Amino acid sequence: MPILATPTAGPSLLTPTDHTLIMIDHQSQMAFATHSIDATLLRTNAALVAHAAAGFGVSTIITSVAEKSFSGPVFDEIKEAFPGAEVTDRTSMNTWEDANVIKRVNAIGKDRLVLAGLWTGVCIAGPALSALAQGFEVYFISDCCGDVSVEAHERAVQRMIQAGARPMTSLQYLLELQRDWARGETYDLTTGIARKFGGAYGLGIIYAKTMFGASEGSHG
């Protein structure tokens, strides 16, 4: 018997309600030593992810390390997406070893996690490997992460993939939450975030809309 295809999404695709996003240590001091990605692009990608999560109502945890004493404030782009949000400050490099963060993870109660932050080899690999060991399903947004060198970032990415974590990109995260342009209730949200933070793709949306009145949901 042949396999019959059905117009349904695969279970590994993310939805706004099936995961917790944890944004880790997107802070000034951590960014100063990040050399695997340009700081401007990193901030743009962090903004895209944060605004996507806020707009789609994704359960989100924001955490910092030594915010007052060393690493400085969380990026303004993230604060703008989540005004007044609780930022859980830690002393541990591995977020998963912080009892307050774990309390928040357990309170939300979702076993699928999406991670993004600085640095990839320490502050992302640590919780990714720890959560995987405890049975969680882990994704990480690789271009919303960075490390002290390209080598450090890439080795961390490989290590997490080998352990079972799933990589994705910032724009992929946004579009996976939308997934169907016929979902009119979030169409303006998604295209608005893309126009502001989506680089060349965002420019394309602006061009098409301005020149031809075109939209992503249109059929030719």
pLDDT digits (tens, 9 = 90+) for 106-118: 999 999 999 999 9
Q: Picking from 61-75, 79-93, 98-112, which range would have the lowest pLDDT averaged per residue?
A: 61-75
Q: Which class is 20-175 in CATH? A: alpha beta
pLDDT higher at 99 or 216: 99
Give the pLDDT score at 218. 58
pLDDT value at 99 more than 90: yes
pLDDT value at 35 more than 90: yes
Give the pLDDT score at 28. 93
Give the pLDDT score at 217. 63
Tokens found for residue 153: 């970032």
Q: Where in the chain is the domain with CATH 3.40.50.850?
A: 20-175
pLDDT value at 207 more than 90: no
pLDDT digits (tens, 9 = 90+) for 37-75: 999 999 999 999 999 999 999 999 999 998 778 889 999
pLDDT value at 214 more than 50: yes
Give the pLDDT score at 200. 87
What pTM value is reported for the model?
A: 0.93
pLDDT value at 219 more than 50: no
Closest CA to 65 of 108, 31, 105: 31
